[in-house]
């Protein structure tokens, strides 16, 4: 199976959805089981993961349809790159803390997502907290790796996802 065929499969889009939900579940487990409170950037990263999950869901609906695949890829790429930028900003905040740059406790969404889903999107922690470390990397550094992976995967899938299906005459 070539990359173009894989991009048109429910398996590919299901894997994208599955990985996004796995990482979202990991964030919630760390928050509720280990009592680590999410900061505003963590909340924005969760929102980016939800965007990637939405892209996976869109792709599952009709992976053979070029417009659906293209919209799914666009949502995926935007969410992954936005998540990477937020993760990078968080790493910078933690590595170079400044009393002049503190994170907010009030997210700025187009709609009040933090009020609708406070268990998921309500920031209660500080951006400079670095409690969780795995293999020498903080959670912020791991999320940067994760979003870099999602961004790289979106780049790899760009041509096969955006190329219309070949028609046989």
Domain holding 55: CATH number?
1.20.1550.10
Q: Does residue 76 lie in a domain region?
A: yes
Q: Does residue 168 lie in a domain region?
A: no
Taking a C-beta distance cutoff of 8 angstroms, is the pair 75, 54 a contact?
yes
Q: Does residue 8 lie in a domain region?
A: yes
Q: Does residue 46 lie in a domain region?
A: yes
Q: What's 34's DSSP letter? A: S
CA distance readout (Å), 136 to 87, 146, 158: 17, 16, 33
Q: Specify the number of domains making up the chain.
A: 1
Task: Look at residue 39 and tell me whether its pLDDT is greater than 70.
Answer: yes
Confidence of residue 165 (pLDDT cuts 50, 70, 90): low
* Structural domain harbouring 91: 3-162
Contacts of 56 (CB under 8 A, 6+ apart): 13, 14, 15, 16, 17, 18, 20, 72, 76
25, with CB counted inside 10 A (0-12, 13-18, 19+), is exposed
Residue 98 has phi, psi (to 5 degrees) of -140, 135
Q: Does residue 169 lie in a domain region?
A: no
Q: What's 98's DSSP letter? A: B
Q: Quick one: pLDDT at residue 161?
A: 66
Q: Quick one: pLDDT at residue 13?
A: 92
Q: Does residue 119 lie in a domain region?
A: yes
Q: Residues 90-149: pLDDT tens digits?
A: 888 888 877 666 676 677 767 777 777 777 777 777 777 777 778 888 888 999 999 999
Report the C-alpha gap between 156 and 71 in whole angstroms. 16
Q: Residues 42-101: pLDDT tens digits?
A: 889 999 999 999 999 999 998 888 888 889 999 999 999 999 999 999 888 888 877 666
| pTM for the predicted model, two decimal places | 0.86
- Helix, strand, coil content of the chain in percent (nearest 5): 65, 5, 30
Q: Does residue 37 lie in a domain region?
A: yes
What number of H helices and E strands is found in the chain? 8, 2
How much is the mean pLDDT over the chain? 84
Task: Look at residue 168 and tell me whether its pLDDT is greater than 70.
Answer: no
Q: Quick one: pLDDT at residue 167?
A: 45
């Amino acid at each position: 199976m070539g990359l173009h065929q894989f991009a048109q499969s429910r398996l590919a889009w299901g894997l994208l959805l599955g990985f996004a939900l796995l990482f979202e579940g990991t964030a919630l487990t760390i928050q509720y089981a280990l009592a680590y409170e999410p900061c505003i950037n963590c909340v924005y990263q969760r929102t980016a993961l939800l965007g990637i999950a939405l892209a996976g869901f869109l792709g599952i609906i009709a992976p053979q349809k070029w417009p659906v695949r293209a919209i799914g890829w666009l949502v995926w790429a935007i969410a992954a790159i936005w998540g990477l930028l937020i993760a990078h900003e968080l790493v910078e905040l933690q590595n170079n803390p400044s009393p002049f740059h503190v994170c907010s406790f009030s997210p700025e969404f187009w709609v009040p997502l933090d009020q609708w889903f406070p268990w998921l999107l309500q920031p209660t922690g500080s951006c400079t907290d670095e409690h969780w470390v795995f293999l020498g990397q903080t959670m912020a550094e791991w999320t940067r790796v994760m979003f870099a992976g999602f961004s790289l995967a979106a780049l790899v899938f760009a041509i096969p996802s955006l190329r219309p299906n070949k028609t046989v005459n």
